[in-house]
Chains A and B, each alone.
Chain A
Amino acid sequence: MTTPAAALGRQRTPVRPARVLLHVFLVVTSLAWLAPLLWAVLAALRPYSETSTKGYVSWPDKLSLDNFKNAFEQSDMTHYFVNTLIIAVPAVLLTLLLSSMVAFYVSRFDFRLNIFLLLVFTAGNLLPQQVIITPLYRMYLLIDLPGVTASGKLYDSALGLVLIHVAFQSGFCAFVLSNYMRMLPDELTEAALVDGASVWRMYWQIVLPLCKPAMAALATLLSIWIYNDFFWAIVLISTGENMPITSALNNLSGQYFTDPNLVAAGALLTAIPTLIVYFVLQRQFVSGLTLGANKG
């Protein structure tokens, strides 16, 4: 790898050879970056019988989707995808609802609270999750919810995970949305107030529809983050059956450790939804990610 200094000096003048060199460098580096993923795809496409006799670095005779099919069926992946949906959909919706309400209040009624919110929430967002896991674990075990969750407690329930995601993500979203709402002209809501519209209508019918772009960016980001979460479910869910897909992967791999090709296929299958969301909503994702970072 060249140092930035050397490489930048090399293309001092924007003549063709420098550009060609840059493209060569970028193509080679991109391929190197994709290599681990491509290697996993290749392993997943080859039958175990072939790789175990010929070795992994060999020309593939047969490529098939059998491993994907088997991994999907044998580990009952549909069930875990549904688990994830049960957690992620309410978590994203609730986070957006609660954080947009805070943002609405802060940006329209009490601006001093904005800085305070920013401080408290940023602190919460940056703290490593493990700092609060021990007391949280205890609390989740102590809160009895008979009839509300299957486990009768907040522990080992989808509700528990929804709450933790809402709590951890709301700060970031509220901050981004309040900055966004601050840019909406005051006249909009003032006119509504003078007309006697209720605060709720102001929020629901005037401000919220105007925040759609920011909400879309945040929803994309939240979906991927929550989908990818591994840690919370590992600690706060005890029944393997209740795990969301990303955390369930850990158990699945233990089950099939003798067949790495199958494990590769399983791992890649769980990555597919995030990749689809990312490719379809790439712009929202990146703008959401940098939205918060550049404010800081």
Chain B
Amino acid sequence: MTTTAVAVRRDAVRGLKKRGGVAPPWLFAVPALLVYALIVLYPALSGAGSAFTNWSGVGAERSFVGVDNFKQLFTDNPQFWPAVEHNIIWFVVLILIPTPMGLFLAVQLDKKIRFSRVYQTAFFLPVVVSLAVTGFVWQLVYNPDTGLINSIIGANKPGHYIDWIGDPHLNLWAVLVAASWRHTGYMMILYLAGLKGVDPSLREASALDGANEWQTFKNVIFPTLRPTNTVVLVVTIIEALRAFDLVFVFNKGAQGTELLSILITNNIIGESSRIGYGSAIAVVLLVISLAVIIPYLIATFRKERRA
């Protein structure tokens, strides 16, 4: 913008204000900020407070109990550490299997091959369908009596049952297959968008230097995908922390599939409503999330400033 343009604009804005009766422009930002402050910011801040009380629900008395909820959580709760472990496994599986798979598919589909869109649609369909429906669809696959897997391998007769949903040694892995099924398509779309931004001349230069396809990918394409990789990493961590719908539909987070998000929710809508205790778990989840989000935001902030 030129300086005269700025001056014209400043005068115009001033003129607008002088005429009076016209709302100041910052009013445009108010409604959204208000809703956001009330629904997201305030609860996020006040939630941390209730974690230090023994509050059991609306109307009930509450008193300050210090770090008791946390102490109990870390030492007494038989579900807490398994939940933490499952959230970590969730992330590790997502980053090690569907993420490279999504990248691989994106690289293949970026090659100007025929029917690329048809393939893309097939891989992306699981992302479009709700996680709740995904949960039901995979229940049909895993059902011990009528499911696809047991029917094929003949494990649907009494005595041979493989209980993919109920067995605490199996169910987390079963649900992770469904989660990976979905995550692959999501990662594929993110990487496809990233690959579109790669300068084609880089590829040509690399080919001229005699690099083969794998060398070109490893040394030229992958390093330029760095911004996409950052987004993918953040999205994957957050997905692992957020995991809820699939498990809730699958078996309500029964033994073997406990997750932090499930524990928090069960403390609200479960039989035993212990809001203070639920808040303590939420604080743990908040701290882990912020440990990921804040460095990401700092990096984004630096980039925006440079831009």
Which A residues lie at the B interface, using CB under 8 A?
Answer: 1, 4-5, 7-9, 11-12, 19, 22-23, 25-26, 29-31, 33-34, 36-37, 39-40, 43, 51, 55-57, 98-99, 101-102, 104-106, 108-110, 113-115, 118-124, 126-139, 141-142, 163-164, 166-168, 170-171, 174, 186-187, 190, 193-194, 196, 198-200, 203, 224, 227-231, 234-235, 246-247, 249-250, 253, 260, 263-264, 267-268, 270-271, 274-275, 278, 282, 285-286, 289-290, 293-294, 296
**Given A57-B148, A268-B133, A296-B227, A163 contacting B122 (CB threshold 8 A):** no
- B119 an interface residue at 8 Å Cβ cutoff? yes
B290 contacts across to A, CB distance below 8 A: 123
Contacts between the two chains (Cβ within 8 Å), count:
332
Interface residues of B in 134-178 (CB under 8 A from A): 136-141, 143, 146-148, 151-152, 156, 178
Q: How far is the CA of A115 from the CA of B136 in the complex (A)?
A: 41
In the complex, chain A residues whose CB is within 8 Å of the CB of B31: 98, 101
Question: For the complex, is B103 an interface residue (Cβ under 8 Å from A)?
Answer: yes
Q: Which of B136, B238, B305 contacts A264 (CB 8 A)?
A: B136
Of the A-B pairs whose beta carbons lie under 8 Å apart in the complex, a sample of 17, sorted by A's number, is A29-B105, A33-B125, A34-B125, A105-B25, A124-B44, A137-B275, A167-B39, A193-B12, A198-B16, A200-B23, A230-B130, A231-B244, A267-B137, A275-B128, A290-B190, A294-B231, A296-B300
Known: A109-B26, A132-B44, A133-B265. A9 touches B214 (CB 8 A): yes
Where chain B touches its partner, the secondary structure class is helix
Partner of B16, one of A4, A193, A203: A193
Residue pair B128, A278 in contact (C-beta under 8 Å): yes
A85 to B304, CA, bound (A): 38
Most chain A Cβ neighbours within 10 Å, of B43, B138, B185, B261: B43
Q: Are A7 and B104 in contact (CB under 8 A)?
A: yes
**Contact A234 to B269, CB < 8 A, known contacts A109-B26, A128-B261, A227-B130:** yes
Q: In the complex, what distance in Å separates the CA atom of A260 from the CA atom of B137?
A: 10
Query: Which chain B residue lies CB-closest to A249?
Result: B132
4 closest Cβ contacts across the A-B interface?
A: A228-B130, A167-B39, A193-B12, A290-B193
Among the listed B22, B235, B245, which residue makes an inter-chain contact with A231, where contact means beta carbons less than 8 Å apart? B245
* Residue B32 at the chain A interface, CB threshold 8 Å: yes
Contact B293 A199 (CB under 8 A): no
Distance of A25 Cα from B249 Cα, bound (Å): 32
Question: A296 near B29 (CB under 8 angstroms)?
Answer: no
| Cα distance, A104 to B238, chains bound together (Å) | 30
Q: Is B202 an interface residue (CB 8 A)?
A: no
B 179-220 to A, binary, CB cutoff 8 A, 1 in contact else 0: 001001100011011100100000000000000111001000
Q: Across the interface, do A293 and B235 meet the contact criterion of CB distance under 8 Å?
A: yes
A250 and B249 within 8 A (CB): yes
* Residues 16-31 of chain B, each 1 if its beta carbon lies under 8 Å from chain A, else 0: 1001001101101101
Contact of A139 among B26, B43, B190, B265 (CB under 8 A): B43
User: Secondary structure at chain A's binding surface: helix, strand, loop or mixed?
Assistant: helix
B130 near A271: Cβ-Cβ < 8 Å = yes
* Residues of B contacting A31 in the complex (Cβ-Cβ under 8 angstroms): 122
Inside 8 A of A105's CB, which chain B residues have their CB? 25-26, 28-29
Known: A33-B125, A122-B293, A249-B133. A102 touches B40 (CB 8 A): no
**Chain A residues in 8 Å Cβ range of B214:** 5, 8-9, 12
One of B9, B121, B129, B286 near A131 (C-beta < 8 A): B286
B contact residues, total (Cβ < 8 Å) = 121
| B 44-63 contacts with A by CB, 8 A | 44, 46-47, 50, 58
Q: In the complex the two chains form, what is the Cα distance from A70 to B125 in whole Å? A: 26
In the complex, B66 has a CB within 8 A of chain A: no
Q: Is B72 an interface residue (CB 8 A)?
A: no
- State the CA gap A231–B228 with chains docked (Å): 28
Q: B137 to chain A: which residues have CB within 8 Å?
A: 36-37, 39-40, 264, 267
The answer to whether A121 touches B132 (Cβ under 8 A) is no
Q: In the complex, what distance in Å separates the CA atom of A164 from the CA atom of B301? A: 26
A8 touches B217 (CB 8 A): yes
Task: Report the bound CA distance from A250 to B245 in whole Å.
Answer: 10
Residues of B near A1 (CB, < 8 A) are 101
* Chain B residue contacts of A286, Cβ below 8 A: 124, 189, 193
A230 touches B132 (CB 8 A): yes
Q: Is the CB of B25 within 8 A of A109?
A: yes
**Contact between A104 and B28, CB atoms less than 8 A apart:** yes
Also in contact, A56 and B189, with CB within 8 A (given A122-B297, A136-B39, A193-B16): no
Whose C-beta in chain A lies nearest to the C-beta of B177? A36
Q: How far apart are the CA atoms of A37 and B124 in the complex, in Å?
A: 12
**Contact present for A293 and B32 (CB under 8 Å):** no
Task: Kindly state the separation between the CA atoms of A124 and B37 in the bound complex, as whole angstroms.
Answer: 10
A1 vs B275: C-alpha distance in the bound complex, in angstroms? 46
Flag if B100 contacts A134 (CB, 8 Å): no
